[in-house]
Amino acid sequence: MRRDFPRKVKAQAILRANGCCEACSAKLKVGEAEVDHILPDALGGDPVLSNARVLCRVCHRAKSSDDIGRIRKADRQRDKHTAASAKPSRIRSRGFEKPPAQRRASSPLAKKLPPRRMG
């Protein structure tokens, strides 16, 4: 479950940013600031001021898309470690009997055939 920042922490982060994006230093208008987790909540980031960063929409979208990749990688590693996504193993059995080797059409016959009569 995602944990959002409390209003008090959001207000403190916006005050600390002084009306600018903390990634690209762009001036932000009132209501444009987005408070973002530096370490995503899904990766263990807490909703505290030291993990908060004020970003513009463009920077926030770019960071969020990067975070999604990191979160998915962590999910895959966790699943691999816990064997949650292990591929099913093949059933090992004795197998079937192999049929006897057949004579090829191009190999010589074991028994000679009588000559053909023409006529």
Copy the structure tokens of residue 6.
Answer: 């409390």
Residues 36-88: pLDDT tens digits?
999 999 888 999 999 999 999 999 999 999 999 999 999 888 888 887 766 66
- In this structure, is the dihedral angle defined by the CA atoms of residues 101, 105, 110 and 114, taken in order, positive or negative? positive
Copy the structure tokens of residue 71.
Answer: 């979160």
Q: CA–CA separation, 97 vs 30, rounded Å?
A: 79
Partners of 88 in beta bridges: none
Q: Whole-prediction pTM value? A: 0.62
Residues 20-38: pLDDT tens digits?
999 999 999 988 899 999 9
Beta carbons of 60 and 53 less than 8 angstroms apart = no
Residue 20 phi, psi dihedral angles, 5° rounding: -125, 155
Q: Which domains, and CATH codes, for the chain? A: 7-81 (3.40.1800.10)
Q: CA–CA separation, 96 vs 89, rounded Å?
A: 19
